[in-house]
């Protein structure tokens, strides 16, 4: 880093002029040790690490904490660096701001507000410790004037799951689906009823490669002929979120009046028809017997005459 490079020059001057005889390798080690001690001391003398917590996609404003008068300050004589852990975020040198690729189009240095660093929107990858370094030119070289750190934690909470009905795969079977997106870390989805875990189907967990946020979904089949109170429960890290789903079995359908009329007709008509058929059959048999007897005996007068 250019600022630390210039800061080390002052240390080199002191460390090497005190002992010119030792080999240059040993002098180099002394320089590094001296620089480390100096930076550690400055860090310890700073105001300490500021703790901040934000949610994914929100805006964060990280304070640098360096108080100065913008009207009196000569920006050409100052250098500002923001870095996260071991990587650069932004630099302000000779009144020009340079943003590193990972933070382009979403990072701004607020010079009017004591070099605050603003990031919008936040990603999960933005969590970490940010350090603001302020250098100022004095007597021809840049010296460290301010050093402070801010520890940023980024949350990614799952919203309340969404439960939707997903059709009826078979008779008396209803299918529902539970869905939630935008959380971190990796979630675990379970279905519960009366405190007992149910067996879900097609449970999937996916992670967006850019935002690192997770999406989870699962389906569940249940019998529609019974009442149900089902819970979709999602656990992630030390947090959890859930949604209830209530199902009441449909009421029994009232009897069909058309069928009732049909049954009445059958009950009344069938016996009546049987009775008519039976009577017709008996009358026919009676008529047949009378006809057969007349042919066998013949007329009464003719029989009498023959006997005389």
pLDDT of residue 255: 63
Residue whose entry in the numeric block shows the structure tokens 């805006």: 59
The predicted pLDDT at position 71 comes to 62
Alpha-carbon distance of 116 to 60, in angstroms, equals 10
Domain 162-247 has CATH 2.60.40.10: yes
CATH classification of 48-155, choosing from 3.40.50.300, 2.60.40.10, 3.40.50.2300, 3.30.390.50? 2.60.40.10
Domain ranges of the chain: 1-45, 48-155, 162-247
Q: Could you tell me where the beta strands, DSSP code E, fall in 60-172?
A: 60-62, 78-84, 87-93, 96-99, 107-110, 116-119, 128-138, 141-155, 162-165
29 vs 21: CA distance, rounded Å: 14
**Contacts (Cβ under 8 Å, ≥6 apart) of 237:** 184, 185
φ/ψ of 190, rounded to 5, equals: -135, 150
The contacts found for 117-120 with CB under 8 angstroms, 24 or more apart, are 117/61, 117/62, 117/64, 117/82, 117/89, 117/90, 118/59, 118/60, 118/61, 118/62, 119/59, 119/60, 119/62, 120/58, 120/59, 120/60
Residue whose token pair is 């002191």:
14
- The answer to whether 48-155 and 162-247 have equal CATH topology is yes
pLDDT tens digit string along 82-110? 999 989 999 999 999 999 999 999 999 99
The reported pLDDT for the residue numbered 269 is: 73
CA-based nearest residue to 178, from 196, 195, 158: 158
pLDDT mean for each 10 residues of the chain (308 residues)? 41 35 41 42 55 92 86 81 96 95 96 93 93 94 95 94 94 96 95 96 94 95 96 94 95 68 71 76 66 53 47
pLDDT at 98: 97
């Amino acid at each position: 880093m250019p600022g630390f490079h210039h800061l080390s020059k002052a240390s080199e001057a002191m460390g090497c002029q005190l002992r010119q005889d030792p080999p240059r390798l040993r002098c180099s080690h002394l320089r590094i040790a001296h620089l480390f001690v100096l930076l550690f001391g400055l860090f310890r003398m700073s105001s300490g690490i500021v703790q901040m917590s934000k949610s994914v996609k929100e805006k964060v404003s990280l304070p640098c904490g360096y108080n100065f008068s913008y009207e009196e300050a000569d920006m050409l004589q100052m250098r500002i660096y923001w870095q996260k852990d071991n990587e650069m975020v932004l630099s302000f040198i000779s009144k020009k701001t340079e943003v590193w690729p990972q933070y382009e189009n979403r990072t701004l240095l607020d010079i009017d507000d004591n070099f605050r660093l603003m990031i919008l929107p936040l990603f999960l990858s933005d969590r970490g410790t940010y350090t603001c370094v302020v250098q100022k030119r004095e007597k021809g070289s840049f010296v460290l004037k301010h050093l402070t750190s801010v520890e940023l934690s980024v949350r990614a909470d799952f919203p309340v799951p969404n439960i939707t009905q997903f059709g009826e795969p078979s008779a008396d079977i209803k299918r529902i689906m539970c869905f939630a997106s935008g959380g971190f870390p990796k979630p675990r989805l379970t279905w519960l009823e009366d405190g007992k875990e149910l067996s879900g189907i097609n449970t999937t967990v996916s992670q967006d490669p850019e935002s690192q946020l997770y999406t989870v979904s699962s389906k569940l089949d249940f019998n529609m002929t019974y009442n149900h109170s089902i819970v979709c429960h999602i656990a992630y890290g030390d947090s959890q979120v859930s949604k209830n789903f209530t199902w009441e079995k449909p009421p029994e359908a009232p009897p069909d009046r058309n069928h009732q009329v049909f049954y009445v007709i059958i009950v009344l008509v069938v016996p009546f028809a049987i009775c008519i058929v039976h009577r017709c059959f008996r009358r026919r048999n009676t008529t047949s017997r009378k006809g057969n007897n007349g042919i066998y005996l013949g007329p009464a007068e003719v029989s009498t005459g023959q006997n005389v």
